[in-house]
Chains A and B, each alone.
Chain A
């Protein structure tokens, strides 16, 4: 049986403040057009992932278990399933879009990608 240590006020306050900072940073980056395009996407997704870990640790107490790490194991398994679902869907749909272009779309694609 895992022993789960109790949290304190400090834990929640730190989690809250960090989450606030991460949230506001992400919004400011976009609203102020500080970054754009791919840089912006990488930045805000990065901030989101960090906030995920912050909330998992400080709010959901995920780092606290002692062995065996059941909660963590189930989370990692679910993460794997999620990676397959999202990654797999994007891969399949990209492939479909490429293979099922209409003549008009083909013209546009050839012009943009092959310089024709």
Chain B
């Protein structure tokens, strides 16, 4: 087989880009259906309160109001909005199903209590104002450590001391106590990560209506639509086949859309009103009612020999779930896997408590526990290196795992890693040696820092991971590709088209992608865990291969040569040694469809693919400047060196890493989710108070691709969606320490914290 690729590896334009550039791209909030009503949600103003009584009579009487619903009007089935729970074997009694559409007890300021649908937004707002709710206020607790105290208010009946779950690291090794005894140097430190918000530009929206057949049609930007359909069917006790889930263009996800959001309320309103309903979040509601990144208190301990070998690694985690469980168990699990699994170490132990608090709900955000783990781990690495007098870069090179060793999911060995090279390349690009050696002086101090990490390409074996793809040829020789990723800006549609085109010998413009409709697409989890390129890409490759085989079979008959002697390239099937002996793809396809010899066929191929795993790696280097008078940190330069196997589309890959780097800079330095600790009211509920990086805050980012194709990936590719997020905060923390000698262990690393640390140094 020829190794020269014509489509894969090229910086092709994304198929969705032109629509987005002209405003033609339609997002959920742009949808307008005849008779559509506007929904609004009434939220609890109290952080912890029983809902005793709701009087909706005045709201119902308002002209223009078509539906008012409370807990009495909706199914009383408890659920966990986290859709990934459906992708794991279910347990008979699952305590994580701890919420209802409207909860009889509000557990955070913003918990939904009632909803209305009216002919316009103003009337809906008016209706909310005249709903009378009688609350019985309860004492509330906002800090996880306080929540675990013996006399803390009980948030969920089943959870003593508000501990939702105690989790042990499932793959312990050796004996950490003995390991620490053998260590020459031990570092132990506690790190606190923050409740970062996804801040995807498109606020949550949903349009629900029941069509003439009584089927429920939902339009929503969910990342996991096949799972969402099932979850919704469960909650409303309706057959899943009566639900059709459509996904218009999605304005960013980053993990905000791994759960049901406002769909249940929207569906309940549509059902009550008998008309389509659009329910959209305001930006304030997005901050308040939608999930955030999981905050952790992580106490990590690392033991190392004087020769720089890690001998023991231990961690104790407290995960702040917020008011409901959602993703908290899973993000904790991912945190543990990545903390324990990045470096070679014979003695490992870790345990965690997931704790409820009366705060807005924690969920999963890009990295899903991994960046949080890395913030702790990669600083401990630097601290240990300093303790034994070794360059932290050399220390990492000594301890990172090689091919064949267990990955963070220990049953899956590392298929391929170029991390050593990534570190060396990055160090050179940022000029590590000379910048570290340059001695400082003056008010503004500069230095460099680094971090490395891995992440998943899919979440096998822990999660259901199979992907389904279908390719069918059209009579003109183009092909339709039916797949179900979630295109939320990652560029996955273009990548999948490139994979299909390469295999089929077509141009990527010949691939028409059909997606975003559960009536047409076969089961796929959707986009999470950076799985789309690796897992869905593999399904696409194999589906295309099956179609290609049928194509070649027909061509073989026509050309009277064995199929194995044929190749497809540039829309033509030919014999490589006699290229003029060939036929166009279009002709073969057309003659198969319009076949009057009794051999008709619409050539197609499909594949249901169940993956193993192959993890990408990343080395992140940053240069910072710290102003010792103001405490402000300026990130001067970022160098990211990923090993993602082959880049199917280098521009898209760079875009994912650059975007993740910017999110990492915000996570590290400016993004602070602030709650009033007397009332539980969210203070940082808009972009003025919650600061995400602007063009002035993100420096030039250099992405250097180290391409080492992996055998199990489609054309050697692995995932990359989350990869760039993991190391930024740690790299910046390490750089700050290198520059001014203070180590900030809580996020965000604000000027105040740096100044305080400098004062007490």
* A-B complex is real: no
